[in-house]
Structure 1
Amino acid sequence: MLGLVLILTETSTAYGARDFNKVGHTPCGAKCGRKHSAVLTDFGGVGDGKTSNTKAFKAAIDHLSQFASDGGAELIVPPGKWLTGSFNLTSHFTLFLHKDAVILGSQDESEWPLVALLPSYGKGRDAPNARFSSLIYGTNLTDVVITGNNGTIDGQGAPWWTKFRAGQLNATRPYMIEILHSDQIQIFNLTLINSPSWFVHPIYSSNIIVKGLTIVAPVTSPNTDGIDPDSCTNMLIEDCFIVSGDDCVAVKSGWGQYGIKLGKPTKQLVIRRLTCISPDSATIALGSEMSGGIQDVRIEDITALSTQSGIRIKTGRGRGGYVKDIFARRMTLKTMKYAFWMTGNYGSHPDPGFDPKALPVIDRINYRDVVAENVTYSARLDGIAGDTFKGICISNATITLTETPKKLQWNCTNVEGVTSNVTPKACDLLPEKQGKFDCPFPKARLPIESVPLKACSFN
């Protein structure tokens, strides 16, 4: 058995000399409930921060994939700086980062292959006809864990941000982690920094846990969303700290006519114990790509600091889809532009082929137990003419204002609903409900809340 001491002291040459036919049959170091295990250096990995390990990751995962039906396998990334381009995961597999391990995203575009456009988007976000594979990528997988004892993945995104701003990219920037068409995914106990674009993007997937992540990018970096559940079902996000140049959590389900056609909603989503810093974006955004629908989202115990808004609904004509059955409680918001924000005129579209008559349905939006401090606007709630946002409920919300607040605190158009015990008093379109009243929050738990983590530990 290889213990932690062996991992720290054996050289790359010694690892490289081991019999590859035996790799995977001896558990080494971390214990993640997998029958087979290997270390990246078994496959020629060099942790000097300069040598490319793309081939080493590929060789290791290709080898370990043979054990998917025999108890699964884990790949340990030991202490060091492991430069790599994009690599694909396999099923019944754990990627484990030692606390002193850093995976570095390559700055060589040739190490980032192109992958297919997403069917619910139809176009790339940065460039219409192509997109780069994510740093850690997988499709059609079952039972995948990405974890560590707070090891780090550094996307080294600055050159990508520069090229994006200069219009020099011919494909959409890579995400840090993207998992497609997969089931039983767990991502936890990691530090993620400086992604080229979005950090964590599960899409068309189910039964997902994202927990205990520290996600950090400069607040000026473009489109560095923290976690983006996209056309996913039964997902839990909890105990995460995010500093971002875009929305900390952005709930999505496809873009315009492409999302409408695919029709895969995001539903049964829990977001709790989230701390967010994002001066120009939302703590949690619902949309703007919501054309497949968003339903049954439970949000609780949220802290936002120096962030543009709390929960923001983003949609517009041509989006179609729906955002409904949204429940939020116990939010603490400090130094905000908007405590509550709904946008019905979000105008970006994948191409001119969108249908302006495809109107979104916004209904049963519930916020309760909110304390907001140093706020410029209490609310800006803009529905769509002829497509009123309905069923808005806000209760027990106390908002204190900045020294220079806007005179019109509640700016409301094309919305309807009720409020209770809200200060400052809401707009006339959200009248005060008489008597003691709390907006609803579901009592029954979702299935994902009962799924245990596949926790790992070193011997």
Structure 2
Amino acid sequence: MYKNTLLIIILFLTATFAGADDLVTCSEIVPMRNRYDKISITDFGGVGDGKTVNTKAFREAIYRIEHLGRIGGSLLYIPPGVYLTERFNLTSHMTLYLASGAVIKATQDTSTWPLADPLPSYGRGRERAGGRYMSFILGDGVQDVIITGENGTIDGQGDIWWNLWRKRTLQYTRPHLIEFMNSEDIIISNVILKNSPFWNVHPVYCSNVVVRYVTILAPPDSPNTDGVDPDSSSNVCIEDMYISNGDDMIAIKSGWDEYGLAFGRRSSDITIRRITGSSPFAGIAIGSEMSGGVENVLAEHINLFNMGVGIHLKTNIGRGGYIRNITLSNVYIENARKGIKIAGDVGDHPDDKFDPKALPVIRDIKMKSIWGEKILQPGLVKGIKNAPFINICLSDINLNGPYKARTRPWECSDVKGSSLKVSPWPCSELIGSLDGTCFTHM
């Protein structure tokens, strides 16, 4: 199945990106670096037979990179084969390079999986109170780290975690596949990420992060397998990707209620470009955990198929924070329950200590050149009483319903905005006069 999927991906990306605009790329944020010191996992006893557990080999190889300190860093080469391993940590100034046919596969013994403290901006695990399982591949406090190769695979073998979650027997939050914390100058490129236990890529408290030419795959019913979730991070570039998963394809976050407000680190200056995929949830999402604030986001040239929601900005009372200066353009959506959703009643709370008077600010949201087919409801924009969403700007939007099927009209409340050339006709709250600010620079 995955071979056929990858063939479709390659053909689609070739057709889609060949005519893309010549725009600023991720390489301007973090340039790719060559490593002149190269070692192989087989130098440390690694065996790619799919049965041998290679945890010792990975940890010894990375220990060698960390303590030898070669000028310019070191590259750890993973040759073709299936390398089963427990989780491991990365170190600064290293490249993890997966050859074509190389697979790094997580073991499935959850009883030995170590725990980590909850993130301070969340105050607890995202799924369960208390700590959380450590991510399969983790870089904490590192810089200049690259995960790349020849489209080798990192396989989280998440089905055992998904089943434990469905049975409600997990005591802690499931592990991410790849996580970087308190880190900078990170590149993830030219790899396939498959069957993550929880979120696939989670840069949190990071700066200068590039995720490009990555394929993310998980079954549509796999719970919470978000694709890429920048979280309280800045200068992030995500581009040229295919994602087919069980939750939001890309979700920007910045902390949860009173914990995110106290931590106070925003997500900002994020570019998302040329993303294709499908999900029962959202294609491009912001929130619902956004208490540290999210601003200066550009998402463009997005192709979404068989979606729950195409574009979803989500928040709730008690969040505080803000979502502002967001631009989404050149988005195609085919077969979705909702084309656009901006809502102030989405998401739960970490505990009962949140302040219901901490109301989020949602403003300066610009959406242009968005079109779709087989959309059951073109849009829903519902703000919060006493905290309306303002300056919601819609331009050149055409979201058609299914052939001969009844579609729901736009729904709006507690929102102010303007629109230009929008079909079906939006609700009255979004038909304000064009005062010159809404469509500036659109």
Q: Is the TM-score greater than 0.5? A: yes
Give the Cα–Cα distance (whole angstroms) in 2 for the partners of residues 272 and 115 of structure 1: 33
- 2:426 is the alignment partner of 1:426: yes
Q: Which residue of 2 aligns with 1:209?
A: 210
Structure 2, unmatched stretches of 5+, are 1-31
Conserved in 2, the CA contact under 8 Å of 1:376 and 1:404?
A: no
Distance change (3 Å), C-alpha of 1:68 and 1:325: farther
Q: Which residue of 2 aligns with 1:300?
A: 300
Q: Which residue of 2 aligns with 1:153?
A: 154
Offset, 1:276 = 2.1
3-state SS in 1 of match to 2:196? coil
Cα RMSD over matched residues?
1.7
Conserved in 2, the CA contact under 8 Å of 1:68 and 1:93?
A: no
Aligned pairs (5 A) from 1:166-185: 166-185=167-186
Offset, 1:310 = 1.6
Give the Cα–Cα distance (whole angstroms) in 2 for the partners of residues 338 and 308 of structure 1: 7
Give the Cα–Cα distance (whole angstroms) in 2 for the partners of residues 437 and 378 of structure 1: 24
- 2:212 is the alignment partner of 1:195: no
Pick the structure with greater CA Rg.
Answer: 1
1:327-365 deviation line (CA, Å, top 9, x unaligned): 011001111111110111124001111111100000000
Offset, 1:33 = 1.3
Conserved in 2, the CA contact under 8 Å of 1:377 and 1:405?
A: no
- 2:35 is the alignment partner of 1:34: yes
- 2:375 is the alignment partner of 1:375: yes
1:17-72 deviation line (CA, Å, top 9, x unaligned): xxxxxxxxxxxxxx961131110011111111111111111010001112446221
1:371-407 deviation line (CA, Å, top 9, x unaligned): 1111100111110011100010000011211136555
Greater Cα shift, 312-321 or 105-114: 105-114
* TM-score of the pair, normalised by structure 2: 0.90
Percent identity over paired residues: 45
Greater Cα shift, 31-40 or 214-223: 31-40
3-state SS in 2 of match to 1:429? helix
Give the Cα–Cα distance (whole angstroms) in 2 for the partners of residues 170 and 196 of structure 1: 15
3-state SS in 2 of match to 1:355? coil
Conserved in 1, the CA contact under 8 Å of 2:312 and 2:340?
A: yes
Q: Which residue of 2 aligns with 1:50?
A: 51
Conserved in 1, the CA contact under 8 Å of 2:113 and 2:133?
A: yes
Q: Which residue of 2 aligns with 1:107?
A: 108
- 2:289 is the alignment partner of 1:286: no
3-state SS in 1 of match to 2:66? helix
Give the Cα–Cα distance (whole angstroms) in 2 for the partners of residues 132 and 390 of structure 1: 39
Give the Cα–Cα distance (whole angstroms) in 1 for the partners of residues 434 and 294 of structure 2: 30
What residue identity is the alignment partner of 1:141?
Answer: V
Distance change (3 Å), C-alpha of 1:36 and 1:347: closer
Q: Which residue of 1 aligns with 2:275?
A: 274
Aligned pairs (5 A) from 1:439-458: 439-441=439-441
Give the Cα–Cα distance (whole angstroms) in 1 for the partners of residues 441 and 379 of structure 2: 21
Q: Which residue of 1 aligns with 2:6?
A: none
Give the Cα–Cα distance (whole angstroms) in 2 for the partners of residues 418 and 157 of structure 1: 44
Offset, 1:110 = 4.5
What residue identity is the alignment partner of 2:301?
Answer: D
Q: Which residue of 1 aligns with 2:385?
A: 385
Offset, 1:367 = 0.2
Offset, 1:111 = 4.6
- 2:400 is the alignment partner of 1:400: yes
Conserved in 2, the CA contact under 8 Å of 1:420 and 1:437?
A: no
Give the Cα–Cα distance (whole angstroms) in 2 for the partners of residues 32 and 181 of structure 1: 21
- 2:221 is the alignment partner of 1:224: no
Offset, 1:217 = 0.4
1:124-154 deviation line (CA, Å, top 9, x unaligned): 1222112111111011111000001100011
Give the Cα–Cα distance (whole angstroms) in 2 for the partners of residues 89 and 408 of structure 1: 49
Distance change (3 Å), C-alpha of 1:347 and 1:240: closer
Offset, 1:74 = 0.8
Give the Cα–Cα distance (whole angstroms) in 2 for the partners of residues 436 and 219 of structure 1: 42
Conserved in 1, the CA contact under 8 Å of 2:133 and 2:174?
A: yes
Conserved in 2, the CA contact under 8 Å of 1:288 and 1:315?
A: yes
* TM-score of the pair, normalised by structure 1: 0.87
3-state SS in 1 of match to 2:123? coil
Give the Cα–Cα distance (whole angstroms) in 2 for the partners of residues 436 and 335 of structure 1: 34
Give the Cα–Cα distance (whole angstroms) in 1 for the partners of residues 441 and 155 of structure 2: 38
What residue identity is the alignment partner of 2:122?
Answer: Y
Aligned pairs (5 A) from 1:242-253: 242-253=243-254
Give the Cα–Cα distance (whole angstroms) in 1 for the partners of residues 405 and 268 of structure 2: 36
3-state SS in 2 of match to 1:278? strand
1:112-132 deviation line (CA, Å, top 9, x unaligned): 221121000111122211211
Q: Which residue of 2 aligns with 1:455?
A: none
What residue identity is the alignment partner of 2:76?
Answer: L
Conserved in 2, the CA contact under 8 Å of 1:230 and 1:254?
A: yes
Give the Cα–Cα distance (whole angstroms) in 2 for the partners of residues 414 and 276 of structure 1: 32
1:199-226 deviation line (CA, Å, top 9, x unaligned): 0000000001000010010000100000
Q: Which residue of 2 aligns with 1:448?
A: none
Distance change (3 Å), C-alpha of 1:79 and 1:339: same
Q: Which residue of 2 aligns with 1:327?
A: 327
Give the Cα–Cα distance (whole angstroms) in 1 for the partners of residues 45 and 33 of structure 2: 23
Conserved in 1, the CA contact under 8 Å of 2:50 and 2:81?
A: yes
Distance change (3 Å), C-alpha of 1:409 and 1:79: same
What residue identity is the alignment partner of 1:295?
Answer: E
Greater Cα shift, 126-135 or 359-368: 126-135
What residue identity is the alignment partner of 2:190?
Answer: N
